[in-house]
Amino acid sequence: MLTDQHLWNAPRAERLLAGRVTVPGSKSQTNRALVLAALSDGPSVLEGVLASRDSYLMSAGLQLLGADIQPIGPGSVQVMPGLAHPTGPIECGMAGTVMRFLPVVAALVPGQTRFVGDEQASRRPIAPVLNGLRQLGVEVDSDRLPFSLNAPDRMCGPKVTIDSATSSQFISALLLASARFPQGIDLRHNGASVPSIPHIAMTCTMLADRGVTVVSDEPCHWVVRPGPIHALDDVIEPDLTNAAVFLAAALIVGGSVTVPGWPTDSTQPGAQFMGIAEKMGAMVSRVDGSMTIAAQGWQELRPLDVDLHEASELTPVVAAVASLARGRSRIRGVAHIRGHETDRLAALEHELAKLGVEVQQTDNGLDITGRGADKLHGGKFGCYADHRMAHAGALLGLVIDGVELDDITCTSKTMPQFPQMWANLVEEV
C-alpha cells in the first residue's frame, strides 16, 4: 500500500452526470488474440489492442517465446508467429491470463522455462493448469509462482482431466494452444461448477474464427483435434467489465453515461451489467452502437439478489452500488473470487465496513444491507493491488465525502488512464 502522501482523493460528483466514455479494448480478448496470433500459421494485425500492464506482460512473454509483436499504430499491432526457447524468465506480474496461458505455450518449446511474478501472485491459483501439463508429459517443479517447467521433445496426450472450479482460465489456457499439441486435447473438468463460463465461450469462438473446432458434446468436456491455427486480422471489442464502472456512476449519481462501440452480440461477461442496472432502477438503451444508462441517483436505487457466477468480475462494482441502495442485497455464486488478485470477498467486506456499510461474507458471496449514501462516511479505502477494488472505491467516492484510495496506480493493470478518465467523467457537463 502507498503512504499517506500518495492517497488518491476520489472525486466527488457535484452535479448529474452527462458523460460519454470511450473504453479501451477488452483485456480478455486482447490476451487471447495475442496468444492465438503468436501460434498461428501466418502474420496478423490486431486492432483495438488494450494498452495496459497485463497486455504488455503478455506481449513480452510471447516475444520471449519466439513471436515478433510490433506496434503499427494507435491500438494496432502486427504479430509474426514463432516459437523459440526463451532467453530469460517470463514475468507474469499479477496477470492471471499470463501466468495461466503462457505455461501452455511454453510447453510447446522443448527445454526449461522459468516463470516469475509479483509477490502477491504466489497466492493466485494456478495448479490445475500445471497439473494438466504434467498429464501431457511436462515436468513442473511447483504449483505456485515462481516455478519452472521442463517441456519434453514431444508431448503425450490427448486425455487431460483437471479441476477448474476456481477459474475458467484453466480451461481456456489448455484450449488456446491445444491445436498445436501433437494429438490435440481431450479435456475434462472434474469438480464443482466452473465459474465465468462466458469466458470459455469467448475462447471457443475465437478459436473457431481461426479454423479450430472445439467439440463439446457434453458438459465439462472439450475436444480439439491437432491442426493449424489460421492467421486472422481481428478487432478487439471494448472491455465491457471496465465499461461497467463508468455506467455504474450514472446509477449512483444520476444523469446518464454513454459508452460508444458497444458490440451487438458479445461473449464478454461484462455485458450482463446491463440487466443488473435495470433491476436496480436504471433505464438502459442501445442506439447506433452506443450503450447508455440513465438513472435518478442512489436515492432511487433498488436492492437486488443476483448470482454473478458467470460474471464474477462485476462483483466489486455491484457491491459498491448495492452499498448505496436502501435495503438488503445479496451477491451469490462468487466464492471463487477469493483467489483473484486478492481475496475479493474479504477485501470488500473489510473496506465497505470501514465506510459504515453493513456487510458480511457468506459461503459464496456477500450480504449487504444498504442505508443510503447519507448514512456512510469517508475514510481510507484499501485497493489490495486490485484494479476492481479501486473501481469500487472510486464509485463510492462519487457520493461520499472524503473517500481516499491507497493505490489508484493498480488500475494500470487494465486501464492505465483510469484516474484521468474518471476525473473527466465527473467534470463533464
Catalytic residues: 313
Closest CA to 355 of 391, 316, 404: 404
**330 labeled part of a ligand binding site:** no
**169 labeled part of a ligand binding site:** yes
CA–CA distance, 59 with 73 (Å, rounded to integer)? 16
Secondary structure (DSSP) of 325-351: SSEEEEEES-GGGGGSSS-HHHHHHHH
Cβ atoms of residues 300 and 281 within 8 Å: yes
**32 labeled part of a ligand binding site:** yes
Cβ atoms of residues 167 and 199 within 8 Å: no
Cβ atoms of residues 113 and 90 within 8 Å: yes
CA–CA distance, 177 with 225 (Å, rounded to integer)? 11
**184 labeled part of a ligand binding site:** no
**124 labeled part of a ligand binding site:** yes
Alpha-carbon dihedral of residues 151, 154, 160, 162, nearest 10 degrees? 10
The angle, 0 to 180 degrees and rounded to 10, between the axes of the packed helices 387-397 and 240-253 is 20
Cβ atoms of residues 270 and 242 within 8 Å: yes
**354 labeled part of a ligand binding site:** no
Give me the residue label for grid cell 469467448: 202
CA–CA distance, 307 with 304 (Å, rounded to integer)? 10
User: Within a 13 Å sphere around the CA of 169, how many CA atoms are in the beta-carbon half?
Assistant: 28
**378 labeled part of a ligand binding site:** no
Alpha-carbon dihedral of residues 55, 60, 66, 70, nearest 10 degrees? 70
The 290-295 sheet, strands edge to edge: 17-20, 255-259, 290-295, 283-287
Contacts of 213 (CB under 8 A, 6+ apart): 207, 224, 225
**380 labeled part of a ligand binding site:** no
**340 labeled part of a ligand binding site:** yes
**313 labeled part of a ligand binding site:** yes
Q: How many helices (H) and strands (E) does the chain have?
A: 12, 23
Closest CA to 103 of 128, 82, 81, 68: 128
* Rg, C-alpha atoms of the chain: 21
**196 labeled part of a ligand binding site:** yes
Residue 80, amino acid: M
Q: Count CB atoms within 10 A of the CB of residue 164.
A: 28
Q: Which long-range contacts (CB under 8 A, 24 or more apart) does 158-161 make?
A: 158/183, 158/184, 158/185, 158/186, 158/223, 159/135, 159/186, 159/188, 160/132, 160/135, 160/136, 160/185, 160/186, 160/187, 160/188, 161/135, 161/187, 161/188, 161/189, 161/190
Binding-site entries for phosphoenolpyruvate: 27, 96, 124, 169, 344, 388, 413
Residue numbers in the known binding site are 27-28, 32, 96, 124, 167-169, 196, 313, 340, 344, 388, 413
Show binding-site residues for 3-phosphoshikimate.
27-28, 32, 167-169, 196, 313, 340
